[in-house]
Amino acid sequence: MGAQLRALRRRIKSVKSTAKITRAQELIASSRIVKAQQRMQAAVPYEREITHALTAVVSNTSKLAHPLMEAKEQPRRAGVLIVTSDSGFCGGFNANILREAEALAGLLRSRGVEPTPYVTGRKGVTWHSFRNREMGGQWVGFSRRPAYTDAKEIADTLIGAFQDENGIDEIHIVSTEFVSMLTQAVVVKRILPLVVEETTEAPAVPLPYFEFEPTAGDVLDSLLPRYIESRIFTALLESAASEEAARRRAMKSATDNANELIRVFTMQMNQARQAEITQEISEIVGGANALADAAAGKE
């Protein structure tokens, strides 16, 4: 019985140590979510303005042709940017992204398009390397705090592959969109080639009128890459916030499970200790009765 008590005490001590670690990770993730949300909000005005400027340029041009806006009739290859995390302890965050990326790859193959993965985050890179899958590009080390230079490096690689005659014909992003502290959704977006949609609805904000010097094409040559960089940067920022939210939720669940285990083990330990005390009392009473019977027999 004593061995069982010692084993239960060791397990309780071990689970308490684990609970302290998961609780600390939960608090760290909670503080980082706020900073990640602030970085997201700081990037919103830039994305809004560059989208507004691009819309104005396209709207003020009657005939528009640009390599980044021309869709091929029979695309052969597609680049898929998969945004994962560098660290673990975030539940099904990476599994959901990779599952959605696999579904997108199956859809592209059904159309006769061969997908080429471009992966950010150590978890995604490790997943593809373990399966010996060739990657068009890989970037690690900034999933928790991405910088604009990281988005620019990724965008330059993707745009270069898109403009290459033997490169890719489409570019898709698979990332996690931050909806709220409790909800993060995996989204798939096509960013190249750009699609121009004609509408008769008036814009929410009046579009400015531009005169181009020398041509609208030269303006788009400078503006479109910045727009792609902005889209990628926004995806990285939302993924960083979603990663911390997922980590906070996973660590809270782990802490709750650890506390429940401590409760169960404590109850088992108390039961074992009570059984041991009861057995000792029974042995003492039995011994006393035996001594009393022996004394009565001598008399």
Residues belonging to the active site: 90
Q: Under DSSP, is residue 178 helix (H, G, I), strand (E, B) or coil?
A: strand
Task: Report the alpha-carbon distance of residue 281 to residue 289 in Å, rounded.
Answer: 12
116: left (phi over 0), alpha (psi -120 to 50) or beta: beta
Structure tokens at 142: 């900034």
**Cα dist. 164→150, 153, 168 in Å?**
21, 17, 7
| 137 and 154 Cβ atoms separated by less than 8 Å | yes
Structure tokens at 171: 């570019």
Task: Report the alpha-carbon distance of residue 94 to residue 246 in Å, rounded.
Answer: 10
**Cα–Cα nearest to 2, from 283, 279, 288, 285:** 279
Task: Report the alpha-carbon distance of residue 87 to residue 142 in Å, rounded.
Answer: 10
DSSP sequence for 9-43: HHHHHHHHHHHHHHHHHHHHHHHHHHHHHHHHHHH
The helix, strand and coil proportions of the chain, stated in percent and rounded to the nearest 5, come to 65, 10, 25
Residue type, 284: I
Q: Beta-carbon neighbour count of residue 73 at 10 Å?
A: 5
